[in-house]
Amino acid sequence: MTEAVLSIGSNLGDRRGYLTGAVSQLGDAVRAVSSIYRTPPWGGVEQDDFYNAVVLVDDAGVRDPLDWLRRCQALEQTAGRERTVRWGPRTLDADVIVVGALISADPELTLPHPRAHERAFVLVPWAELDPTAVLPGHGPIADLLPGLDRTGIDRIGRL
- Annotated catalytic residue, options 38, 93, 115, 130: 93
Q: Catalytic pick from 49, 81, 86, 143? A: 81
Which three-class secondary structure string do you get for 88-149?
CCCCCEEEEEEECCCCECCCCCCECCCCHHHCHHHHHHHHHHCCCCEECCCEEHHHHHHHCC
> Given 90, 143, 154, 158, which residue is catalytic?
90
Give the C-alpha separation, 62 to 95, whole Å.
16
Q: Which one of 15, 67, 71, 95 is the catalytic residue?
A: 95
Burial (CB count <10 Å: 0-12, 13-18, 19+), residue 44: exposed
Residue 81 appears among annotated catalytic residues: yes
Residue 127 makes CB contacts below 8 A (sequence gap 6+) with 133, 141, 142, 145
63 is catalytic: no
How many residues can be counted in the chain? 159
Please say if 28 is a catalytic residue.
Answer: no
SS3 33: strand
Name the residues annotated as catalytic: 81, 90, 93, 95
